Amino acid sequence: MIFDPDFRGARIQIDLNKVDIFEALDILALQTRSFWKPVNRTTILVSPDNQTKRRDYDELVLKTIYMTNSVTSTELTEAITTLRTLLNMRYLMSSTAMNAIIVRDTADRVAIAEKIIEDLDKAKPEVLVEATIMEVDRSTLRQLGILPPQGTAVVTTGGTGGTGISTGTAFPLDRLPRSSASFSLTIPPTTAQFLATSTNTRLLQNPRIRATDGKLASIRIGSQVPIASGSFQPAFVGATGTPVVNFQFVDVGVNLDITPRVLLNHEVSMTVMVQVRAVAGDRNVGGVTQPVLTNRQVQHEIRLAEGETNILGGIITDTEATSLNGLPGLKNIPILRYFFSQEQKSRDSTEIIIMLTPHILRMPNISAGNLRGLYTGSETIPRLRASPEVPAIGPSSPTPGTPAPGAPPAPQPPAGQPPPATPPPAGAPAAPPNAQPQAQRQTNSTVMFAPSPLTLPATGTETLIIIGNGMDFFGVDLTLSFEPGAVNIREIRDGGFLSRDGQIVAFVQRMETESGTVRISVERPPGAAAVSGTGNLVTLVLARGMRAGDSTIRITDFRIRDPQQNVAIGQPAEVRVLAP
């Protein structure tokens, strides 16, 4: 054992039991405010514990930590900032080309830095967002009234002037023949119009976009319209600049920007910007014809569970125009104006409905080691304690029937006597005496799959239909189970049974890919009557999964609701899915 020249020895009394040599030296160094380090296999150095002596005697380790998921320089810089803030590390450098961080510090600090990088360097989650954009255009046109003549025709024959024809709204009287000639005046007929026109147009777009957590993903559906912008090119002093026309292209159609954030509870927070642009006409601006664009834009932040659908509606544009053509003065008289004029009314109504459904494709692989805490020494001297006697940070949850640490054991009844009844928890309502559980109401309505069995092709998709048969279908709740590795559910949509009379139904579906569970709810609007009979409830679009072989899709829970929201339970069903 050797000592630093500045070390001052002191006589202390200490009693240690059941400790090894390393623990004894640590306790002794803590008592004397010193530290020790091995020099070789048989010698240790003891020195006063201060920052200067630490810098003189602590040996540094050079380590290159490679990151497999952080791909940008910003992420490397953020990791370096984290290490400097938490561990007060000075010697750090990033290598963008090798996607690595180079550290030089004590062995304890380097080991703690590796633990932090391992916890943070995880694959980013990915989300598949299914967007359904529906645009419904309704236009009506009504023409009512009598259209007066718009012109006359005069025909002259004989005489010295010969034969002539003149048409139009005006005819000079000096052109009438003064000799023995004849002429005829023709007035076009008056037209009475009673016309009503109604048109409905529905535009449906269903784009899908795959986005990484925290990264902007964009979809552009439509075309680009050029818009002119002018400028003057500078010339010599005293002269007028030369005009230069530049063209900028603007996206027209449906523009969708999504920035998702995947949470660990399988929910997705999204910043969404939806913009719908269309060309409404042209306008002359400074001698240049410029297009006029209509713009409808929604930007908001929402939080949805996996498979939950967000419906954004009410983006309605109404345009109404009235024009009146007829004889001046007479066209303004009530009732009589329809005999001397024509009235034209047009009304255009456009409504846009946007539905967004996120599906989580990948979650970060967080292991139990990432959740485990570590003892890292004091604030001034970080140190990684690797002793097996150091317990993991954070108490584990006790299993049912096991008393929590420190709790007194439950009293045991004497032999031959039944165990005492467990009192209900505080705040729980007491059950009435002789209370019987309420039986679930059963229904005779059934569900089935078609086709059964279903054969999946080697490439492409196949449609599987869930058919309902019974009475009083107002709402339907289905829970499906499938094998995620064998079957890939590409799309879930309404089958049309509950909306066959034109009612707009609420269709909500939630798919948990990891557990292989799909929950579907279809319900008619309030006030609508229930439907009965046979029809397609849900349509599934399936494809082969990563694992080959046959599998089974089951309806594990089937419930129907009547208009009074009374729930009845039906029988489950299943279908065999073949993948030859």
Same domain, 108 and 223: no
CATH number of the CATH domain containing 550: 2.60.40.680
pLDDT value for 432: 41
In the listed set 311, 330, 362, which residue is the last one of a domain according to the structure? 362
Structure tokens at 319: 């345009």
What CATH number is associated with residue 67? 3.30.1370.120
Helix (H) or strand (E) holding 332: none
In-domain check, residue 181: no
Look at residues 362, 392, 425 and tell me which one is the last residue of a structural domain: 362
Per-residue pLDDT at 434: 41
pLDDT in tens, 10-20: 788 888 888 88
Of residues 233 and 34, more confidence is placed in 34
In a domain, 505, yes or no: yes
Examine the domain organization and report whether 210 and 358 are in the same domain: yes
| Boundary of a domain, candidates 325, 343, 362 | 362
Find the mean pLDDT for residues 490-514.
87
> Confidence class of residue 342 from pLDDT cuts 50, 70 and 90?
confident
Q: Which residue has the higher pLDDT, 313 or 461?
A: 461
Same domain? For 342 and 210 the reply is yes
Q: Do 345 and 262 fall within a single domain?
A: yes
- Classify residue 388 as exposed, middle or buried by CB count within 10 Å of its CB (0-12, 13-18, 19+): exposed
Mean pLDDT in residue range 159-170: 51
DSSP state of 5: T
- DSSP strand pairing (152-157 vs 164-168): antiparallel
| pLDDT category of residue 468 using cuts at 50, 70 and 90 | very high
One domain for residues 354 and 457 = no
* Residue 163 reports pLDDT greater than 70: no
Within-domain flag for 317: yes
pLDDT of residue 416: 44
When comparing pLDDT for 144 and 44, which is higher? 44
**Do 262 and 352 fall within a single domain?**
yes
Q: Is the pLDDT of residue 258 over 60?
A: yes
pTM listed for this prediction: 0.48
pLDDT digits (tens, 9 = 90+) for 60-80: 999 999 988 877 888 888 999
Q: What rounded mean pLDDT belongs to the chain?
A: 78
Collapsed DSSP state (helix, strand, coil) of residue 267: strand
| Cα separation, 399 vs 385, whole angstroms | 29
pLDDT above 50 (res 419): no
Identify the residue with better confidence: 158 or 479.
Answer: 479
Q: Assess whether 26 and 111 both reside in one domain.
A: no
Once rounded to an integer, what is the mean pLDDT over residues 236-253? 72
**Domain co-membership, 316 together with 214:** yes
Residue 512: per-residue pLDDT: 86
Residues 25 and 115 in one domain: no
For residue 294, the model assigns a pLDDT of 82
pLDDT in the model for residue 265? 86
| Cβ(509)–Cβ(307) below 8 Å | yes
Whether residue 410 is predicted with pLDDT greater than 60 in this model: the reply is no
96-130 pLDDT, tens digit per residue, is 888 899 999 988 889 999 989 988 888 888 998 88
- Per the domain annotation, does 448 fall within a domain? yes
Q: Is the pLDDT of residue 132 over 70?
A: yes
pLDDT of residue 505: 84
| CB half-sphere exposure, 113, CA atoms < 13 A | 31
Same domain for 351 and 213, yes or no, is yes
* Residue 407 maps to a domain: no
146 pLDDT tier (thresholds 50, 70, 90): low
Q: Which range, of 267-276, 304-313, 376-385, averages the lowest pLDDT?
A: 376-385
Q: Which residue has the higher pLDDT, 514 or 329?
A: 514
466 and 572 in a single domain? The answer is yes
Query: Which of the residue ranges 48-57, 201-210, 348-357, 465-474 would you say has the lowest mean pLDDT?
Result: 201-210
Q: Which tens digit of pLDDT belongs to each residue from 422-455?
A: 444 444 444 444 434 344 688 889 999 999 899 9
Side chain identity, residue 186: T
| Residue bearing the bigger pLDDT, 197 or 48 | 48
Q: Which of the pair, 462 or 279, is modelled with greater confidence?
A: 462
Please give the share of the chain, as a percent, with pLDDT higher than 70. Answer: 74
- 292 and 280 Cβ atoms separated by less than 8 Å: yes
- Give the angle subtended at the CA of 436 by the CAs of 434 and 438, to the nearest 5°: 155
Where are the extended beta strands (E) located within 158-236? 164-168, 182-186, 191-205, 208-212, 217-233
Q: What is the mean pLDDT of residues 171-184?
A: 58
**Residues facing residue 194 across a β-bridge:** 144
Do 479 and 573 lie in one domain? The reply is yes
DSSP per-residue string spanning 45-110 = EEEE-SHHHHHHHPPEEEEEEE-SS--SHHHHHHHHHHHHHHH---EEEEETTTTEEEEEEEHHHH
Q: Which domain holds residue 301?
A: 200-232+244-362
Question: Does 94 reside within a domain?
Answer: yes
Count of the separate structural domains present in the chain: 4
Residue 130 within any structural domain of the chain: no
Whether the per-residue pLDDT at 219 is higher than 70: the answer is yes
| C-alpha–C-alpha distance, residues 148 and 328, integer Å | 11
Strand 446-450 vs strand 60-66: parallel, antiparallel, or unpaired? unpaired
Residue 374 lies in a domain: no
